[in-house]
Amino acid sequence: NKGAVSLMDYKLLETATKNFQESNVLGEGGFGCVYKARLDDNFYVAVKRLDGGSDGSQDAITEFETEVDLLGKIQHPNIISLLGYSIHGETRLLVYELMHNGSLETQLHGPSHGSALTWHRRMKIALDMARGLEYLHEHCNPPVIHRDLKSSNVLLDSNFNAKLSDFGLAITDGTQNKKNIKLSGTLGYVAPEYLLDGKLTDKSDVYAFGVVLLELLLGRKPVEKLAPAQCQSIVTWAMPQLTDRSKLPNIVDPVIKDRMDLKHLYQVAAVAVLCVQPEPSYRP
């Protein structure tokens, strides 16, 4: 029974949360570690642990709640299954189906450099992602915008079936609230019209999907991570024009502009530069 943790689910969940060991870490995400845990003799799950108490814990709690609310209601072969969750003091646990081949990002850019990803598998991953997105945009009521689609949020099972994960930033609001929400996403995947004008639609996910398609095709990220020194020089170049908020009438939506902290201004600066100087053939 998805959406609520039944007694049986609760018992299983308890088993899983007692059975995971620090040594069984699968990887680290934005808000905590993901562990492999044994549910019973031959059934394993993935447990994501969010520890509270640190800076940004309110964001972590909000993301936890969004994930539980949304994934609790969603069931689709190309969306990760949330099997249960628990809140114990400051510690929050999310229990998912185990995806044996980890994330698309690690498969593509990790030590194996995509060697397991034949063209046939890459095509199938693209199709699986499209099916997951189509479900979110066209068949969920209200429609869901993922808002943080990227290769690290695409997980692969033992047969390399792809499932979308990490719904902490997803939104389901209709159209009216989209300009009031905090600007979020990952640099390199964020649609320019969302970043620069705050215009968020399901097409923002489609842009990010395009970036992942390029990753599948090129075997590398179309927009490389900027080195701190590069960021610094971009920001130094852009900040004089951006620090005075009143001088930005057409670049950023007024509501977003008021809510933006310096971190977001830096993002806008960095992306403004990336938009001015794109590598033409890599633009989605």
The residue ranges of DSSP E strands in the chain, in sequence order, are 25-29, 32-40, 43-51, 82-88, 91-97, 154-156, 162-164
Taking each continuous run of H as one helix and of E as one strand, the counts in the chain are: 9, 7
Which 3 state secondary structure label does DSSP give 170? coil
Whose Cβ is closer to ligand ACK: residue 49's or residue 257's?
49
As a whole number of angstroms, the longest Cα–Cα distance in the chain is 63
Amino acid at 92: R
Active site residue 9: no
Residues paired with 38 in a beta bridge: 44
Q: 26, 144, 162, 252: which one contacts ligand ACK (CB under 6 A)?
A: 26
- Binders of ligand ACK: how many residues, by CB under 6 A? 16
Spatial CB neighbours of 130, under 8 Å, sequence gap ≥ 6: 209
Residue 72 touches ligand ACK, criterion: CB under 6 A: no
> Looking at residue 224, what DSSP letter applies?
P
Whose Cβ is closer to ligand ACK: residue 28's or residue 244's?
28
The residue ranges of DSSP E strands in 30-165, in sequence order, are 32-40, 43-51, 82-88, 91-97, 154-156, 162-164
Is the distance from CB of 166 to CB of 196 less than 8 angstroms? no
**Catalytic pick among 148, 166, 205, 253:** 148
- Six token digits for residue 223: 């927009």
Is the distance from CB of 215 to CB of 126 less than 8 angstroms? no
Map tokens 């047969």 to a residue.
Answer: 159
Residue 29 touches ligand ACK, criterion: CB under 6 A: yes
- Indicate if the alpha-carbon torsion angle 8, 13, 14, 20 is positive or negative: positive
Window 41-60: residues binding ligand ACK (CB under 6 A):
46
Whose Cβ is closer to ligand ACK: residue 102's or residue 284's?
102
Residues paired with 103 in a beta bridge: 155
Window 123-162: residues binding ligand ACK (CB under 6 A):
155
Whose Cβ is closer to ligand ACK: residue 5's or residue 94's?
94
Q: Considering only the stretches 20-28, 71-79, 213-221, 230-238, report the one whose residues sit in contact with ligand ACK under the rule CB under 6 A.
A: 20-28
Q: Which residue is nearest to ligand ACK (CB)?
A: 27
Whose Cβ is closer to ligand ACK: residue 29's or residue 72's?
29
Tell me the per-residue interface mask from 73 to 112 with ligand ACK, x by CB under 6 A, - otherwise. -------x---------------x-xx--xx-xx------
221 is in an annotated binding site: no
Residue 194 touches ligand ACK, criterion: CB under 6 A: no
- Residues lying near ligand ACK in the complex (CB under 6 A) are found at 26-29, 34, 46, 80, 96, 98-99, 102-103, 105-106, 155, 165
Report, as residue numbers or ranges, the catalytic residues. Answer: 148
Question: Residues annotated in the binding site for ATP, as ranges?
Answer: 48
